[in-house]
Amino acid sequence: MTLVRERRQQQALRLTLPPPSLSLNPSPVSSSSSTSSSPGIGALSDLKKLSVIGRGNGGTVYKVSHMQSGVVYALKVVRFHEDMGSVTREAEILQRVDSSEYVVRCIGVFNDGFSEIDGRGGDLCFLMEYMDVGSLHDILCRKKRLPEHAISGITRSVLRGLQYLHGLEVVHRDIKPSNLLVNTRGEVKIADFGASWLVSACGDRTTTCITTNVDACKGTCAYMSPERMDPERWDVGDCCDGYAGDVWSLGVVAMECYVGHFPFVGPGEKFDWVTLMCAICFGENVESAVKMASPEFESFCGRCLERDWRKRGTVEELLVHPFLHKFDTNGVEDLLYCIDSSD
């Protein structure tokens, strides 16, 4: 089924942020579904919808194929008119982050004035690299827990992705298992910039970047850092650019991979906002959840999950942490083994 009528040829959205324009000529992407080359995609009508990958507050993601070449992509469709500022910012950020092997690549952005998907207009469509295994969340739902050597490879890839993003003054603000995508090469990449911020857009780097206004609540609360939950307690000031919050979120993800459930509560235990805030901001040292782990992993989690953002480990520090260099392999083979092994 074609996504839109052939007679309605959507134009690529041209943005003002450097680089000057988004390319609409897809180059090879890191997926087993990709071919070595593919012709340009000039309009959404060049694509065929295959299935729905996921739905959420940020929109709907479809698995699509380029009808001429057969190359498979992911197409994220968001309502432009529902939150124009947020969607525009996501497009600007995606335009910046197009050259890292640790970030899911955006092939092009389309302004769709009319959509046959549900008969309404005002969509912005992001054509993305397709990661054919799915998300880390999908893997955890199936495997429950991952061994330390696989977690080491995952965290190394995410840290390299964060190093790249932070170098571009991009704060992701929603690092969680469902936003870490995996392909059959064992590559782990950061996805979904719907809650992200450009630090340079926050002027003097005041708390606007971290906590103020309704937009600050974007992102999944369970993975938010203490300074985002309770900025007054943790003295969020002009020098807090938000990068440390991404490190906290990665620490929560690493612990979740190890213990097999969200680490701040017991297995299967439900929690509300108050319970969550108390656990994150006032609970016992969170690394106690991995007290049976290796000293290196316990130390790594402790550096990520330091409640005072000023004392928390930085991306650069964590990239040379012993936990990331404890194992002989690079983590790719270990993750592939976990994916392929029987449940």
pTM for this prediction: 0.81
pLDDT of residue 271: 79
- Residues 93 and 56 placed together within one structural domain of the fold: yes
CATH code, domain with 13: 3.30.200.20
pLDDT for 77-91, tens place per residue?
A: 987 666 677 788 888
- Residues 149 and 62 placed together within one structural domain of the fold: no
pLDDT of residue 170: 96
For the record, the structure tokens of 120 come out as 């309404």
pLDDT of residue 152: 94
Query: Out of 46, 83, 112, 174, which one is annotated catalytic?
Result: 174
pLDDT for 301-339, tens place per residue?
A: 999 999 999 999 999 999 999 999 988 666 666 677 777
CATH code, domain with 161: 1.10.510.10
Residue 174 among the catalytic residues: yes
Q: Are the C-beta atoms of residues 103 and 141 closer than 8 Å to each other?
A: no
Contacts of the segment 268-275: beta carbons below 8 A, 24+ positions apart: 273/221
- Residues 61 and 153 placed together within one structural domain of the fold: no
Q: Is 48 annotated as a binding residue?
A: no
Phi-psi region of 235 (alpha: psi -120 to 50; beta: other; left: phi over 0): left
d(C-alpha 311, C-alpha 302), whole Å: 11
Domain coverage including residue 13: 1-130
Residue 108, judged by CB atoms within 10 A of its CB (0-12, 13-18, 19+), counts as: buried
- Residues 113 and 161 placed together within one structural domain of the fold: no
Structural domain total, the chain: 2
pLDDT for 270-283, tens place per residue?
A: 878 888 888 888 87
